[in-house]
Structure 1
């Protein structure tokens, strides 16, 4: 149960991060907002590592990791840019609904690619959620 609560908390933090990042970009420009975001993340990561007794082992593992593991950072930057662009044209709730559908599709694709395991019922759930998001967008913009 605590893992499910952690996942719900992560979801809430993700949405709050989207909103704060958008506001940062409004105040500092897209590049400045991204830079502020990544400077803070770098400093906090450094603080976390400095308190870890195994920090040198972590750094060795970090340097020896396969190159494809670093794509997470690239995806993070692309995600930030898309977030800023999308929030200029839709509200946070709709953007979050679209993001949720995208996350579920991405999770299904990753499960299929890495584990060859995708449950058809889950795909139907993703499709249903996507229809709901599209309906909300259509209803919102045609009232």
Structure 2
């Protein structure tokens, strides 16, 4: 069985770029869903519609895969049986709601904050909540002591998020809204860590593809309900844009989850998380430099740099055996 202890050093080195790619996929999905939201109309209605499109398209693709793949069909059947028998608590399979919140926050905040600031806030939320998930034993490995590498990375990630809040609130006229927008991806990132912990426990019982499919079912359902609520709020929808790439967000979501499932068996949770964070931040800054350079200020680069220092420092501490 392939594990971080049995994987060869050559395999680990060869697959390291894939962990960066995982983070890059998250940043690309944020760009796509943010752009789709801005083209679909105004208000929460358009932002949530973009999230529904992303999650819904992913659900359609995954459902087709499950129908065509016998092993995945058996996993889904096992999931349903364990829920009926009560051996799998219902609360353990609602992690997809956090995924829905994350995708919705992409459409709500990235048009204003930019991809780089959005990702830095997400990373801060993920890093802090990961400490809580490990400490409380919500993940598949049970209770895990807070490690010095992860604590180091989390502290610098939070410092970076504070700078993002300052950057977002530099315009006095929009300070309140800017700070609120910076808070949303922070919460969404925290929810992602909870989702990963729950997913790990479910996957250990029913398998990775059934877990992924269930996440998209739950997330899409939650987003559809939220979308209906937004029709009571200000906003409007316009005709869907025709650019095909605006509808690939769900595909990047599936690629992120599928690659993570393989990489975690080779590198472990902490190493995968650190490399993925680096990939998110690097890709996000590059995207904003190309697409929206006006959204990058001095504090944006400082925040991204702090996050990367936290990642490199955490990996260095871990390599030296610091726990």
Larger proportion of helix: 1
TM-fit CA distance, 1:111: 0.8
Aligned to 2:268: 90
Count of residue pairs the alignment pairs up:
137
Greater relative contact order structure (CA < 8 Å, 6+ sep): 2
Equivalent residue for 1:30, pick from 187, 208, 221: 208
TM-score, scaled to structure 1 = 0.73
Q: Which runs of 5+ in 1 are unaligned?
A: none
Aligned to 1:131: 312
CA contact (8 A) 1:25 1:32 kept: yes
Cα distance change of structure 1 residues 12 and 105 upon mapping to structure 2, 3 Å threshold: same
TM-fit CA distance, 1:7: 3.2
Aligned partners of 1:102 and 1:126: how far apart in 2? 11
Aligned partners of 2:230 and 2:280: how far apart in 1? 31
TM-fit CA distance, 1:38: 0.6
Aligned to 1:80: 257
Q: How does 1:44-59 map to 2 (within 5 A)?
A: 44-53=222-231, 58=237
CA contact (8 A) 2:212 2:257 kept: yes
TM-fit CA distance, 1:32: 0.6
Equivalent residue for 1:41, pick from 197, 216, 219: 219
Q: Which runs of 5+ in 2 are unaligned?
A: 1-178
CA contact (8 A) 2:202 2:211 kept: yes
Asked if 1:12 corresponds to 2:199, the answer is no
Higher radius of gyration, 1 or 2:
2
SS at match of 2:231: coil
1:107-128 alpha-carbon deviations (Å, 9 max, x no partner): 1121122124666656644552
Aligned partners of 2:313 and 2:205: how far apart in 1? 33
CA contact (8 A) 1:22 1:87 kept: no
CA contact (8 A) 2:278 2:311 kept: yes
Aligned partners of 1:125 and 1:74: how far apart in 2? 30
Cα distance change of structure 1 residues 67 and 127 upon mapping to structure 2, 3 Å threshold: same
Aligned to 2:292: 115
